[in-house]
Every structure is written in C-alpha cells, then in structure tokens.
C-alpha cells in the first residue's frame, strides 16, 4: 500500500512539473524580443547575480552558522538574535539568521523576487548613451553587482543594529528592496509579491502534493504579534531613501499616483499597519485605527519622495520640494533608528532571579530553567519612561539566561507548554550546540484546576523543575475525598474530613491500584475512583 501511495504522489509531482514546464515554455515564446533585450540591457546575461549572491549568503548562515545543515527544521537561534550592543555577534548575525526553515524559505522567496526587481532598477550597465562598459568602476557590471551586494549586506547590518528588541531574520533587507523598487516600479513591486506567493505555493504543492485535514485544536497567538513592524518599516524607508536619491539623479520617475497606490497596497498587504504593544505574557494590544492611518501617511511620503522637484517650497528658508521630501524620509529613518537605541542597551539585571538548584540546568554558559510569574530581567541600561513599563512584563515558562551574552528570554511560555506537552530548547554558539528537552505532565482534576509537573533533561541529567500544589477533586466517593499530588511520580491521597486515610501511586495506563477502600483505575487518559457500586471520574490526563 505504501508503494502504491508513493507512486501516486510521484504522479502528482510529475503532473505539476510538466504543467509548469509547458506553461513557462509558452510564456517565454510570448515574450517579444524587445523585452528580452531590455532585460539583458539591465542585467549582465539577464541574471540578477547580486540577488543570487545575497541569497547564497543567507543560506550559508542558516546551514553552517545556525547548524541548519544537521538540523534543517530546528536551527540554533538563541545566540544569533540582536540581544544587545554589548553582544556584537548577535547584532551582526541577526539579520542573516532565521527562526526556522519556513522563516528562511519565506525570506528567500521574497529576496529572489523583490531583490531581483530592485537589482533590475539599479542595473548592471550605465544608462547614458555612448558610455562604454568596463572602463571605470561605475560602468563595470561586476563592480555594480558588487555594489548591490555590499549595499544589501550594509542594510542587513543596519537593520540588525537598529531593530526594536531581539529580532532575527532577513526581512528588513527584503522591505528595503521593496521600498527601493516601489519608487521606480510600483506596479512591478506588487506583481513581484504575487510571484513570490506563486513560488511558495508551487514549493508547497511539490513537497506535499496531497493534503487531508480536518478540524483540530491549536495554540494560536495573534498573527500581528509576530511581525517585527519597526524593523520592517526601517527597511522600507531605508530602501525608499536610497531609491529617491538614485532615481532623482537619473530623472527616472513613475507617476506619483501610481507610487501612492502601490505603496498603500504594499503596506496593507504586508501588515505594516499592525501597530501593537505587549501587555502581559501572551496578551497584546493592536492599535488598528492608528496603524491604518499610518499606512495612508506612508503612501503620501513615498509618493512625494518619488516626484519631488527642485522648485522652491519655502522661499524664506530656500527650501526646495526635493529637500523637504528627502528630508522627511530621512527624518523617519532616523526616528525609527533612534527609538530602537535604548532597547539595544539591554542587559540581564539579575541572572539568578527565579533560578533555583532544582528548577534549572547549566548547559555551557547558559542556564535553562522553568518558573512561573518572575519579573522580566531583560532590562535597558537607558531609561525610556513609559515604554520601559510597557515592556516590563512578568515571564512564565522555560527561560534561557546567559549573562555574558546578555540573554534573558522566555523561549516557551507556560500556556504553550501546557498545550504542546513537550518542547526542545536549543542553545549554543559558533561551533557548538546543545539541546534541553522539556516535558510537562498534567492532570485536569474534576471540579478543580490542573496539577502538573515540568521536567528538564539534558543528556544524562534530569531534574524536576516545577511541581504544582496538590489539588482535591470535587466528587466524593463513599464519603471520601481524593487529592491528586504532583511529584516525581503522581500520587493519590484519600482523606475523610481532612483526616488522611491512605495514599497510592497514580496507576499507569490500563492498570489499577487500591488504598483506603477505593480502587483507582486508568482507562485511556481518564482516572476513575471505584467502590463496589460506584465509579466516579477523578481526573483526566492533560
């Protein structure tokens, strides 16, 4: 049966590849010679070499720095976030590192589409008539490819250095490509987004040709709470600033209305309107009205920058329209950068807060521990008023601490661990990686809350990191109360009017145990207490 299923899936893949090949062949035949000449006139051999080199750098960081070659779906992420200016490795690598394979592929697709369009707008050849190539650096296609790569890497470091909080990912550069391209090809930028969606869909269809799904529970956080909106906005305006200067010098200006519409649709489709602040734990506040208003403001700023002229705007100040437009975009870039500076002077206030001998494991220079409702120790050395208070929320869950690297991070929340039951925490650095396994065992006690334990495990070390208080079930059986007691092994305590009558280990699956006149039976995930004529459910495995 498995062999038949394999052949069936292969048939689906062959059909997909055949349909794509035929359709692309027809598309190429439809292309007129002028379009092909135009592409070859802008890109050396018609290929966006700079974009490919940049994508290669990102892939190499994932494979060889983040251990993605050995662990493609669970790379090492913690040491490569932009934690603090006091930890330069994280700042330098953060923009090239990614949280997982899906994150990497999403940014790679966007790089190949938006980056290629930005490189086409930049061009490998001089635009002036009669100017020969390879005579100077400015006219050398290889130098221009190098300039594109260098600018991309520079923007990557810049967005990592001025990211708001411990960010990771190449999306700042992707948005810079978009901002650059919007000021020359606004409609083309939107088309590039759809091409990226098509590439992602094609990859998913090739990887999983058949998909059968039904309803299922899931642990969901708001989609907008996962967007690094400040880093994306910084990248967008950096790209727009570079594009405004370059295209004004070349006198290449699309209609302002087209730029306005393209910018507005891009900002809305990419969630740049989703302005939010964390409140506590996994709770966030979305400022929807403010965000949508800002989307329209961004469209005006980019459209104005694309059509700015040398005409005098304010006679008294001798201020031209171009200077005002470029100055406004530059001011936005500076504002987005400056607001992030205090958040990049973060340090670990107290590395021992919440850490005990029994609830933690030392792994290299890291401490991994579990606790509930501890004050966040990741604090800025610069006072930023109300923003500091907004960010200072309590943390509950699995926390990673590294004082030397200025890391204090809730990697798995209590709620997330309760839903998943297990998790893995990967720590390390250049050339090494270790994994700490986290396991939660919980019993939902009838008429009460959940009694749970959390274990941390690394190699041959295992510790009971957390134990909930005992919980008494609401039902009584033959006048007796049953209390579920968490521990290295769960036990059941039988009492009558507060007087203890007996204890017994909670039975394993499909087994029974007895104490104080009660028999406890496991049936699947349910635990029952029984007498000769009564059977009552006491708890359910979480």
In residues, how long is the chain?
A: 542
Whether residue 158 sits in one domain with residue 74: yes
Task: Tell whether 218 is covered by a domain.
Answer: no
Contact residues for 354 (Cβ-Cβ < 8 A; gap 6+): 369, 371, 374, 377, 399
Q: What local confidence, expressed as pLDDT, does residue 237 receive?
A: 95
Order the strands of the 360-363 sheet from edge to edge. Answer: 360-363, 366-375, 394-402, 407-413
Whether residue 148 sits in one domain with residue 40: yes
Question: In total, how many domains does the chain have?
Answer: 4
DSSP letter at 480? B
Q: What local confidence, expressed as pLDDT, does residue 127 receive?
A: 74
- CB crowding 422-456: b at 16 or more within 10 Å, else e: ebebbbbbeeebbbbebebbbbbbbebebbbbbbb
User: Mind giving me the DSSP string for 354-394?
Assistant: T--SSSEEEETTEEEEEEEEEE--EEESS--THHHHHH--E
Whether residue 366 sits in one domain with residue 491: no
Contact residues for 346 (Cβ-Cβ < 8 A; gap 6+): 83, 84, 378, 379, 380, 381, 406
**Average confidence (pLDDT) per 10 residues, the chain, 542 residues:** 66 88 88 82 88 97 95 94 93 95 95 95 79 73 93 95 91 96 94 93 89 76 84 94 89 89 94 84 85 94 79 59 79 91 87 89 94 86 58 82 93 92 94 95 94 95 95 91 94 89 90 90 92 91 90
Separation of alpha carbons 75 and 66, rounded Å? 5
Contact residues for 510 (Cβ-Cβ < 8 A; gap 6+): 522, 523
Whether residue 497 sits in one domain with residue 362: no
Separation of alpha carbons 323 and 325, rounded Å? 6
Beta carbons of 521 and 514 less than 8 angstroms apart: no
User: Mind giving me the DSSP string for 176-199?
Assistant: HHHHHHHTT-HHHHHHHHHHHHHH
Beta carbons of 285 and 325 less than 8 angstroms apart: no
Q: Which domain holds residue 7?
A: 1-30
Whether residue 249 sits in one domain with residue 158: yes
Whether residue 319 sits in one domain with residue 250: yes
Task: Tell whether 213 is covered by a domain.
Answer: no
Whether residue 314 sits in one domain with residue 356: no
Question: What kind and span of H or E run contains 257?
Answer: helix 256-269
Whether residue 462 sits in one domain with residue 354: yes
Task: Tell whether 396 is covered by a domain.
Answer: yes
Give the C-alpha distances (Å, rounded to integers) separating 165 from 94, 173, 339, 378, 422.
11, 17, 11, 10, 27
Whether residue 178 sits in one domain with residue 121: yes
| Domain final residue, candidates 467, 482, 497 | 467
User: Mind giving me the DSSP string for 273-335?
Assistant: T--EEEEETTEEEE-HHHHHHHHHHHHHHHHHHHH--SSEEETTTTEEHHHHHHHHHHHHHHH
Whether residue 405 sits in one domain with residue 433: yes
Task: Tell whether 217 is covered by a domain.
Answer: no
Largest interatomic CA distance in the chain: 102
Q: What local confidence, expressed as pLDDT, does residue 320 receive?
A: 66
Whether residue 142 sits in one domain with residue 25: no
Separation of alpha carbons 516 and 502, rounded Å? 5
Order the strands of the 471-472 sheet from edge to edge. Answer: 471-472, 481-485, 491-496, 499-505
Beta carbons of 348 and 403 less than 8 angstroms apart: yes
Separation of alpha carbons 116 and 50, rounded Å? 8
DSSP letter at 158? H
Residue from 36, 43, 52 nearest 124 by CA? 43
Whether residue 57 sits in one domain with residue 142: yes
Task: Tell whether 134 is covered by a domain.
Answer: yes
Q: Which residue has the tokens 């065992």?
A: 441
Q: What local confidence, expressed as pLDDT, does residue 390 receive?
A: 45
Separation of alpha carbons 280 and 408, rounded Å? 16
DSSP letter at 469? P
- CB crowding 196-210: b at 16 or more within 10 Å, else e: beebbeeeeeeeebe
């Amino acid at each position: 049966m498995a062999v038949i299923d394999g052949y069936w899936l292969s048939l689906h893949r062959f059909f997909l590849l055949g349909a794509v090949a035929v359709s692309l062949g027809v598309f190429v035949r439809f292309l007129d010679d002028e379009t092909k000449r135009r592409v070859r006139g802008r890109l050396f051999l018609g290929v966006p070499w700079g974009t490919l080199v940049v994508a290669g750098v990102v892939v190499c960081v994932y494979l060889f720095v983040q251990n993605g070659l050995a662990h493609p779906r669970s790379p090492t992420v913690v040491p490569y976030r932009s934690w603090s200016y006091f930890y330069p490795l994280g700042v330098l690598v953060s923009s090239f590192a990614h949280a997982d394979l899906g994150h990497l592929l999403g940014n790679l697709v966007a790089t190949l589409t938006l980056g290629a369009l930005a490189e086409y707008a930049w061009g490998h050849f001089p635009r002036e008539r009669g100017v020969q190539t390879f005579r100077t650096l400015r006219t050398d296609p290889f130098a221009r490819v190098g300039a594109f790569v260098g600018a991309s890497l520079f923007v990557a470091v810049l967005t990592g250095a001025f990211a708001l909080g411990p960010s990771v990912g190449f999306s700042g550069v992707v948005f810079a490509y978009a901002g650059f391209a919007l000021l020359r090809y606004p409609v083309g930028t939107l088309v590039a987004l759809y091409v990226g969606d098509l590439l992602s869909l094609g990859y998913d269809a090739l990887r999983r040709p058949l998909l059968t799904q039904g309803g299922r529970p899931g642990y969901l956080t708001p989609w907008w709470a996962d967007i690094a909106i400040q880093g994306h906005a910084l990248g967008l305006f950096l790209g727009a600033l570079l594009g405004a200067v370059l295209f004004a010098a070349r006198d290449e200006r699309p209609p302002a209305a087209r730029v306005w519409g393209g910018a507005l649709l891009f900002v809305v489709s990419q969630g740049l309107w989703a302005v939010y602040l964390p409140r506590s734990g996994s709770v966030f506040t979305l400022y929807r009205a403010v965000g949508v208003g800002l989307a329209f403001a961004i469209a005006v700023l980019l459209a104005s920058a694309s059509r700015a002229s040398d005409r005098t705007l304010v006679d008294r100040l001798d201020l031209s329209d171009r200077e005002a437009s470029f100055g406004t975009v530059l001011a936005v870039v500076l504002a987005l950068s400056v607001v992030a500076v205090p958040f990049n002077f973060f340090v670990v206030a107290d590395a021992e807060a919440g850490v005990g001998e029994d609830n933690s494991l030392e792994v290299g220079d890291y401490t991994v521990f579990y606790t509930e409702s501890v004050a966040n120790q990741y604090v800025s050395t610069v006072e930023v008023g109300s923003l500091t208070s907004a960010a200072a929320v309590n943390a509950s869950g699995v926390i990673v601490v590294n004082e030397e690297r200025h890391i204090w991070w809730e990697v798995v929340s209590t709620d997330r661990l309760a839903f998943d039951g297990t998790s893995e925490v990967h720590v390390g650095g250049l050339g090494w990686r270790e994994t700490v396994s986290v396991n939660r065992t919980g019993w939902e006690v009838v008429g009460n809350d959940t009694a749970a334990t959390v274990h941390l495990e690394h190699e041959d070390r295992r510790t009971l990191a957390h134990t909930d208080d005992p919980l008494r079930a609401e039902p009584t059986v033959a006048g007796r109360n049953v209390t579920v007691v968490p521990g290295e092994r769960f036990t059941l305590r039988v009492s009558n009017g507060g007087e203890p009558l007996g204890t017994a280990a909670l039975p394993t699956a499909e087994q029974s145990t007895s104490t104080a006149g009660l028999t406890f039976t496991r049936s699947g995930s349910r635990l029952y207490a029984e007498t000769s004529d009564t059977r009552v459910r006491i708890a359910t495995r979480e």
